[in-house]
């Protein structure tokens, strides 16, 4: 790739828009996954009693099981959200940026 095209991309406002939007989304979702997962881990570490209490008086199922399965489902959902945003917003933007750079 030529130095010229690189600087042309860098100076394209669409490129700066792409980097800003994608980095914001990626790091927001990363922090969200970290909060969800380490929230679960901190409960395991400091409040195991919360996770091991039964979900109702007549049940043997501890609260931790739906919470754990919930963490797995949340991971899958956040992954889906990122892919959807990237397919709909970032891909067209990247295509335009590359087209404009190779003109």
Partner 1 sequence: MTSANAVLKTVFPAGAVLAAQLAFVTLAAAQASPPNTTPPVNWHAVVMFIIFVAITLIITYWAARRTKTATDFYAAGRGITGFQNGLAIAGDYMSAASFLGIASLVYFNGFYGLIYSVGWLVGWPVILFLIAERLRNLGKFTYADVASFRLRQGPVRTMAAIGSIVVVIWYLIGQAVGAGQLLHTLVPQISYNVSIVIIGALIIIYVTFGGMKATTWVQIIKAALLLGGATLIALGVLVHSGFSFEKLFSEAVAAHPKHQEIMQSVAPLGAKPNAIESISLGMTLMFGTAGLPHILMRFFTVPDAKAARKSVLYGTCFIGYFYILTFIIGFGAIVLVAGRPEYVVDVTKNVLNLKGGTSMAAVYLSHAIGGDLFLGFISAVAFATILAVVSGLTLAGASALSHDIYANVIMKGKSTEAQEVWVSKLCVIGLGILAVILGILFEKQNVAYIVALTFSVAACANFPILVLAVFWRGLTTRGAVLGGYTGIFGSIILLIIGPTVWTKVLNMGPAIFPYDFPTFVVLPAVLIVAWIASVTDRSAQADKERAAFEAQMVRSETGFGAEAAAAH
Q: Which has the closest alpha carbon to 33: 44, 41, 22, 23?
A: 41
**Per-residue three-class SS string for 28-39:** HHHHHHHHHHHH
- Of 68, 63, 71, residue with least CA distance to 32: 71
Q: Is residue 21 within the footprint of partner 1 (CB under 8 A)?
A: no
Options 4, 13, 45, 88; binder of partner 1; rule CB under 8 A:
45
Tell me, residue by residue from 50 to 89, as one string, x for binding to partner 1 by CB under 8 A and - for no binding. Answer: -xx-x----xxxx-xx--xx-xxx-xx-xxx-xx--xx--
Give percent helix, percent strand, percent coil of the chain, each to the nearest 5: 85, 0, 15
Tokens encoding 60? 């043997």
Note the residues at the interface with partner 1 (CB under 8 A). Answer: 1, 3, 5-6, 9-10, 15, 18-19, 22, 25-27, 29-30, 33, 36-38, 40-42, 44-46, 48, 51-52, 54, 59-62, 64-65, 68-69, 71-73, 75-76, 78-80, 82-83, 86-87, 91, 94, 97-98, 101
């Amino acid at each position: 790739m030529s130095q010229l095209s690189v600087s042309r991309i860098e100076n394209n406002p669409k490129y700066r828009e792409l980097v800003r939007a994608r980095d914001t989304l990626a790091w927001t979702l990363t922090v969200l996954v970290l909060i969800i997962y380490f929230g679960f881990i901190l409960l395991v570490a400091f409040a195991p009693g919360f996770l091991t209490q039964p979900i109702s008086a007549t049940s043997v199922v501890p609260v931790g099981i739906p919470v754990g399965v919930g963490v797995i489902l949340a991971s899958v959902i956040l992954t889906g959200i990122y892919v959807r945003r990237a397919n709909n917003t970032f891909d067209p933007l990247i295509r335009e940026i590359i087209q404009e750079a190779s003109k």
